[in-house]
């Protein structure tokens, strides 16, 4: 088994503005053995101020990766955790920090990479940025939940450092934690609902002539495995059934020579 390697966990700061924060982040990273710092579209900074708070972290400073976009900073990453001061919402899969850190450590031991993503000092991460993260991580606080950026990073790297020590060298398989973001009103799907979804997917794939040279059984078994792993709830089954129905309808219209208008994700007509 591969030992825990903090260089497989990168710290990504999205549009940081304050040079003292960036320096303090570097110092926290060095204290806890981290070396990979990514800055996404950082503001122009007085690097002297960064260097003062960074305190003897020249190696990290030389190694900073500056990127134009978050996607660029996430290249080569297998899971990304979006740290957010906002308390739990139903929209996002959320992990508490201990679970996220345990998961991150196990991923590095599978020789894979993780990103801890932190938002802007004033406004945090946008929804679009959170969508690029495997899940959201909230650090528990009193009712005043907004930590200083560098302090949030320190808590994350410290928790990782501590857990990496206590986890020993025993292999941890992924996923160590189920990410549960089901709506409170939804219930786990029954086997027959799952079966209906699999049949619906199969008929949709027939409608779009997917099975050209593919062996249908092998593809369908793999899809079934994915769905079983996904721990689907009834509302999610409905969503996927609805998508399949729309794809089939679309294929039928095309067959009849009708080109339906394209509606974009924002509800606007695509011209």
- Using only C-alpha atoms, the chain has a radius of gyration, in whole angstroms, of 22
Q: Measured from the CB of residue 250, what is the shortest distance to ligand SAH in angstroms?
A: 39
Which CB, 60 or 115, lies closer to ligand SAH?
A: 115
Nearest Cα to Cα of residue 90 among 205, 235, 203, 189: 235
Task: Please work out the total of residues on this chain that contact ligand SAH, with binding judged by CB under 6 A.
Answer: 19
Which CB, 39 or 201, lies closer to ligand SAH?
A: 39
Of the candidate spans 47-55, 139-147, 171-179, 224-232, the one that interacts with ligand SAH by CB under 6 A turns out to be 139-147
Which CB, 139 or 251, lies closer to ligand SAH?
A: 139
Farthest CA pair distance, the chain? 70
Residue 249 as a binder of ligand SAH (CB under 6 A): the answer is: no
The residue number whose beta carbon is nearest to ligand SAH equals 124
CA of residue 255 relative to chain centroid, distance = 38
Of the candidate spans 45-53, 77-85, 231-239, 254-262, the one that interacts with ligand SAH by CB under 6 A turns out to be 77-85
Of the candidate spans 41-49, 68-76, 121-129, 213-221, the one that interacts with ligand SAH by CB under 6 A turns out to be 121-129
Sequence length of the chain is 271
Which of 141, 203, 214, 249 binds ligand SAH (CB under 6 A)? It is 141
For 166, phi then psi, to 5°, come to -75, -20
Beta strand 37-40 with 65-67 is parallel
Residue 10 as a binder of ligand SAH (CB under 6 A): the answer is: no
Which of 125, 133, 159, 205 binds ligand SAH (CB under 6 A)? It is 125
Which CB, 4 or 118, lies closer to ligand SAH?
A: 118
Which of 4, 38, 81, 83 binds ligand SAH (CB under 6 A)? It is 83
Residue 146 as a binder of ligand SAH (CB under 6 A): the answer is: yes
Q: Measured from the CB of residue 154, what is the shortest distance to ligand SAH in angstroms?
A: 11
Residue 42 as a binder of ligand SAH (CB under 6 A): the answer is: no
Which CB, 104 or 227, lies closer to ligand SAH?
A: 104
Angstrom distance (rounded) from CA 260 to CA 258: 6
Which of 10, 107, 119, 244 binds ligand SAH (CB under 6 A)? It is 119
Residue 225 as a binder of ligand SAH (CB under 6 A): the answer is: no
Residues binding ligand SAH (CB under 6 A): 83-86, 118-119, 121, 123-125, 137-139, 141, 145-147, 149, 152
């Amino acid at each position: 088994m591969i030992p825990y390697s903090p260089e497989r966990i990168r710290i990504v700061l999205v549009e940081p503005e304050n040079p003292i924060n960036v320096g303090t982040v570097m110092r926290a990273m060095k204290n806890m053995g981290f070396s990979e710092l990514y800055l996404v579209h950082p503001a122009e900074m007085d690097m002297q101020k960064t260097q003062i708070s960074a305190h003897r972290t020249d190696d990290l400073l030389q190694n900073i990766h500056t990127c134009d976009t978050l996607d660029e900073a996430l290249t080569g990453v297998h899971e990304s955790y979006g740290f957010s001061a906002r308390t739990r919402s139903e929209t996002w899969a959320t992990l508490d920090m201990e679970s996220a850190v345990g998961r991150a450590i196990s991923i590095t031991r599978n020789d894979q990479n993780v990103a801890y993503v932190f938002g802007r000092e004033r406004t945090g991460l946008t929804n679009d940025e959170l969508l690029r993260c495997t899940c959201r991580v909230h650090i528990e606080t009193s009712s005043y939940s907004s930590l200083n950026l560098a302090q949030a990073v320190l808590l994350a790297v410290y928790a990782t450092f501590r857990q990496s020590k206590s986890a020993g060298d025993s292999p941890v398989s992924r996923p160590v934690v189920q990410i549960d973001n089901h709506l409170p009103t939804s219930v786990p799907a029954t086997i027959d609902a799952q079966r209906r979804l699999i049949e619906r997917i199969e008929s949709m794939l027939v409608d779009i002539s997917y099975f050209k040279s593919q062996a249908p059984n092998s593809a369908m078994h793999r899809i079934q495995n994915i769905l079983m792993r996904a721990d689907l709830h009834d509302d999610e089954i409905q969503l996927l059934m609805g998508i399949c129905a729309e794809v089939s309808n679309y294929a039928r219209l095309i067959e009849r020579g009708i080109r339906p208008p394209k509606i974009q994700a924002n509800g606007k007509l695509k011209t």
